[in-house]
Amino acid sequence: MSKKIPVQKNDYIEVDFQDLTHDGAGVAKVDGYPIFVPGGLPGEKATIKVIKVNKGYGFGRLMEIVERSEFRVDIKAEDAPKYGGCQLEHVSYEGQLKYKENQVKQVLTRIGKLEDVKVHPIIGMENPWHYRNKAQVPVGEKDGQLISGFFKPRSHEIVDTNENVLHIHEINEAVQAVKEIARELRIKPYDEDSHKGVLRHIMARYGRQTEELMVVIVTRTKEIPHQAKLIAEITARLPKVKSIVQNVNSKKTNVIMGDQTDVLWGNEVIYDFIGDVQFAISARSFYQVNPEQTKVLYEKALEYANLSGDESVIDAYCGIGTISLFLAQKAKNVFGVEIVAEAIEDAKKNASLNNITNAEFAVGEAETVIPAWYKEGNSADVLVVDPPRKGCDEALLNTIIEMKPKKVVYVSCNPATLARDLRILEDGGYQTLEVQPVDMFPQTTHVETVVLITRVN
């Protein structure tokens, strides 16, 4: 006989929050039945309204806080539109760091069964605001006026904003300037229902070290009304701009960028540095959105690799070569693998840009290319993985276990899949020695982690 669900939809109940989910919702339990409530914090007592009931769990809406967490901060109602994408806007930064560090520890224990691994205190930012060096802002129309901002959660309704507190100031200025110019020139915003209009997205990228700005205008049509005036106004109002690019996306799709990209003014790329390594950034390049914390993360990865200059290193999921080029400064040679062909082209260009000759790059799935290398007799002393959120493919983990590199350095953006993969490596003869969480994305629930793993038999 199944257990009766202890709550019903539309019930008002008082609960104690015990934990946070991976996406930042408070977790309360009623007779063991979990209810997920956005905005709730561990240690708080609150009145909630039950809004949805499933067999194993329910959802609630926060109505009134009865006992408040020491980590709660107030967000003024008029500031709310500025906080698109900030799941932890109501948590002090000290509380955010504590939550993220605890999340890493919990999943390592619960999923990875790793109870004695040393987890270092999370490395946060001195200023956890205005850190993102890239914006992709949707454009629409409201009351006959061109607007841009962010989509309301679970909708395609655009909230018009002039500032995003996660974007660096130069990015906010660029987006605001293009929006104002487009309004003045009466350039029609894209309407996704009718598939008419011109301007779809305003995109901006900025090199923190070089202070170079790129503006990308994503349009439905190849023709931009008043194009010459648009370019003249952008260059006049944004003195740091080095590149103005048009991307044409004529398809009826939610994908932001189309296939055609043309430079309208200036250079094809802007430049930036992470540490001493220089990177060329095009409109479509993948580049870390928080280079300050990326440097922290990669320096820790380099420290864990502890290279003497005699090692061969394989960098799985190498992207545009960011970690590879860091490692190449200390290794005998580095071999990077990445499935995205454009990223590999960028990696080769970035190696050339930095006069790095001991890094080679191949296009393909890490789980296919690296096993093939191993069969051909190519091995590695150190293997670095920085996989997507789904973690490492099982075929790659099995190859690591067969290949027996002395060290594996695992860079993760998802603690749950990290813990799962660490368990597989531990069962295959490896030991997890140290774990260093790094806060790459303050005000959000995301946490990055770098882990040192060594071969024990």
pLDDT tens digits for range 214-255:
999 999 999 999 999 999 999 999 999 999 999 999 999 989
Say what the pLDDT of residue 79 is: 53
Give the number of other Cβ atoms within 10 Å of residue 10's Cβ. 9
Which of the listed CATH numbers 3.40.50.720, 2.60.40.10, 3.30.360.10, 2.40.50.140 matches domain 12-67? 2.40.50.140
Question: What's the CA angle centered on 226, arms 220 and 231, to 5 degrees?
Answer: 90
The CA distance from 361 to 368, in Å, is 14
Average pLDDT estimate for 168-186: 97
The rounded Cα 138 to chain-centroid distance in angstroms is 18
Torsion of CA 328, 287, 345, 375, to 10 degrees: 60
Which H or E run contains 293?
Answer: helix 291-305
What is the model's pLDDT at position 78?
47
Per-residue model confidence (pLDDT) at position 424: 97
CA distance 384 to 301: 8
**What six digits make up the tokens of 72?**
């709660």
Q: Which residues contact 410 (CB under 8 A, 6 or more apart)?
A: 384, 385, 386, 418, 421, 422, 449, 450, 451, 453
What pLDDT digit, counting tens, does each position of 253-293 carry? 989 999 999 999 999 999 999 999 999 999 999 899 999 99
Task: State percent of the chain over pLDDT 90.
Answer: 85
pLDDT at 290: 96
Question: In whole numbers, what is the pLDDT of the chain averaged over residues?
Answer: 93
pLDDT higher than threshold 90 for residue 418: yes
Contact between residue 185 and residue 172 where contact means Cβ atoms under 8 Å apart: no
Question: Is the per-residue pLDDT at 314 higher than 80?
Answer: yes
Q: CATH topology of 12-67 equal to that of 134-271?
A: yes
What number is the average pLDDT over the span 59-68? Answer: 96
* Mean pLDDT of all residues in 33-45: 95
413 is catalytic: yes
Query: In percent, how much of the chain has pLDDT > 70?
Result: 98
Task: State residue 76's pLDDT score.
Answer: 54
What is residue 77's predicted lDDT score, i.e. its pLDDT? 45
Mean pLDDT, residues 130-146: 94
According to the model, what pLDDT value does residue 74 have?
84
**E-assigned strand segments in 7-162:** 12-20, 25-30, 33-38, 45-53, 58-67, 118-119, 134-142, 145-151, 158-160
Does 2 have pLDDT greater than 70? Answer: no
Question: CB–CB of 97/442 below 8 Å?
Answer: no
> Phi/psi of residue 294, each to 5°?
-60, -40
How do residues 354-387 score in pLDDT, each as one tens digit? Answer: 999 999 999 999 989 999 998 898 889 999 999 9
Query: Torsion over CA of 46, 47, 49 and 52, rounded to 10 degrees?
Result: 40
Closest to 453 (Cα-Cα) out of 395, 410, 400: 410
What pLDDT does 337 receive?
Answer: 96
Please tell me the distance from the alpha carbon of residue 278 to that of residue 263, in angstroms, as a whole number.
22
- Region 46-73: what's the mean pLDDT? 95
pLDDT band at 84 (very low <50, low <70, confident <90, very high): low
Task: Please tell me which residue in 86, 318, 392, 413 is annotated as part of the active site.
Answer: 413
The CA distance from 398 to 425, in Å, is 8
Q: Phi and psi at residue 228, in whole multiples of 5°?
A: -60, -40
Q: Tokens representing 193?
A: 């229902």
pTM: predicted TM-score of the whole model, two decimal places: 0.91
If we measure between CA atoms, which residue out of 402, 435, 405, 401 comes closest to residue 418? 435
134-271 in CATH: which number? 2.40.50.1070
Q: For the chain, which residues make up each domain, given as ranges?
A: 12-67, 99-126+290-455, 134-271
Task: Calculate mean pLDDT across residues 312-321.
Answer: 94
Domain 99-126+290-455: CATH superfamily is: Vaccinia Virus protein VP39 (3.40.50.150)
